[in-house]
Amino acid sequence: MPEQDFRAAAVIGTGMMGPGIALTLARGGVATALVSRTAEGAARGLAAAGSLARFLAGHGLAAPDEAERAQALLAAASRLEEAVAAADIVIESAPEEMTFKQDLFARLDALAAPGAVLASNTSGLSITAIAARCRHPERVLTTHFWNPPHLMPLVEIVRGEKTAAEAAERVRALMSRCGKTPVVVKKDRPGQLGNRLQHAMVREAAHIVAEGIADAEDVDLAAKTGFGLRLPVYGILEHQDAVGLDLCLSIQEYVNRDLARDAGAPRILRDLVAAGRLGVKSGRGFYDWSKRSIDVVRRERDAFLVEFLRSRRPPTS
C-alpha cells in the first residue's frame, strides 16, 4: 500500500507516552485522536501534547507554524469505538499487563476497519502473545517509542509470528515520514532490540558494582564520557569493524570469560529491591536520591537531546 495510506490515527493512553506518540503522528500529517476512558483524561492528554509541541517550537526543533499545524491535527476522545473505527492505525500505550492488552487487542480487532494496523507501544511484552486472541494477527505489531517520545528518534517495529511484512513496511514508512528513525525487529524476542542491548549492559554494570570493581558513580561516568558519548554517530558493530574484527576477537576471548553470567537478575539488584531500595521512588537505589534530584537529571537529559537533535536538522536557507 502507498505511504500516504495512514491519514487518521488513534492513540490509546494519555499518560507518560501517549501525548508524545500522538504529537509524533500529527507532525507526520496524521489526524490523531488521543483516547482516554474519560473526557477529562483525554483533555489532559491533549493539553500535554500541546505543551510538547510548544517545547519543540521553543527549542528550535519545529517551526512555529509546523507546531501549530500538528496541534490542529490533534483531538481528544473518550469513545473508544468511534476513535478506533475512524483510524488507519491504532497505537496502544497502556499499562504493561498481558491479560489487559490481550483483552484490549481482541476488542480493537473487532472494532477497527479491515485495512487498519493495530500497534502496541509495549517495551518488552511479546506482540505474538498480545495478538493471540485477534482474528487478524497479521495486522498486529509493536511500535516501541523510546522515552521521551517527542525527542527520542528511535521507534522499534517488532513483527509477531503472524505479522505481515507489508504491515511492518507500511509502519516503517509512516515513522520515517513522522521524522523518527525506525528499525524493524524481525523476531519477537524478550527485550526486542534496544532493551536487549540495554539490559545486557545493566547486568554487567550491576556486576561491576557488586564485585567492587568500581562504584556506581564511576560506572555511569565511564558510560557517559566514554563509549556512550560516541554511540550516536559510531555504532557498536561499526566500531568493531573500524578497529578490526581480529582485535575484537582477541578482546572478546579474554574479557568475556570474566563478564557476568547471571541467568536471571543480578543478586545485587534482588538485594536492593528486597531492602526497599527501589531508586527514585523510595529515595535510595544505587544512589542516595535524598542528595540528588531526578528532575535535574531529566532536564540535563532533555537539554542534551535537544542539542543533539538540533545538530541533525538541516540548515534553513
Q: Is the pLDDT of residue 4 over 80?
A: no
Model confidence band, residue 180 (pLDDT cutoffs 50, 70, 90): very high
pTM of the model: 0.92
- CATH number for the segment(s) 196-312: 1.10.1040.10
pLDDT in tens, 196-248: 999 999 999 999 999 999 999 999 999 999 999 999 999 999 999 999 999 99
- CATH number for the segment(s) 3-185: 3.40.50.720
pLDDT of residue 45: 96
Domain locations along the chain: 3-185, 196-312
pLDDT of residue 312: 86
Concatenating the DSSP letter of every residue in the chain gives: --GGG--EEEEE--SSSHHHHHHHHHHTT-EEEEE-SSHHHHHHHHHHHHHHHHHHHHTTSS-HHHHHHHHHTEEEE--HHHHHHT-SEEEE---S-HHHHHHHHHHHHHHS-TT-EEEE--SSS-HHHHTTT-S-GGGEEEEEEPSSTTT--EEEEEE-TT--HHHHHHHHHHHHHTT-EEEEE-S--TTTTHHHHHHHHHHHHHHHHHTTSS-HHHHHHHHHHTHHHHTTTS-HHHHHHHH-HHHHHHHHHHHGGGS---SSS-HHHHHHHHTT--BTTTTBSSSBTTSS-HHHHHHHHHHHHHHHHHHHSPPP-
Q: Work out the mean pLDDT of the chain and round it to a whole number.
A: 95
Model confidence band, residue 316 (pLDDT cutoffs 50, 70, 90): low
Mean local confidence (pLDDT), 51-70: 96
Mean local confidence (pLDDT), 140-145: 98
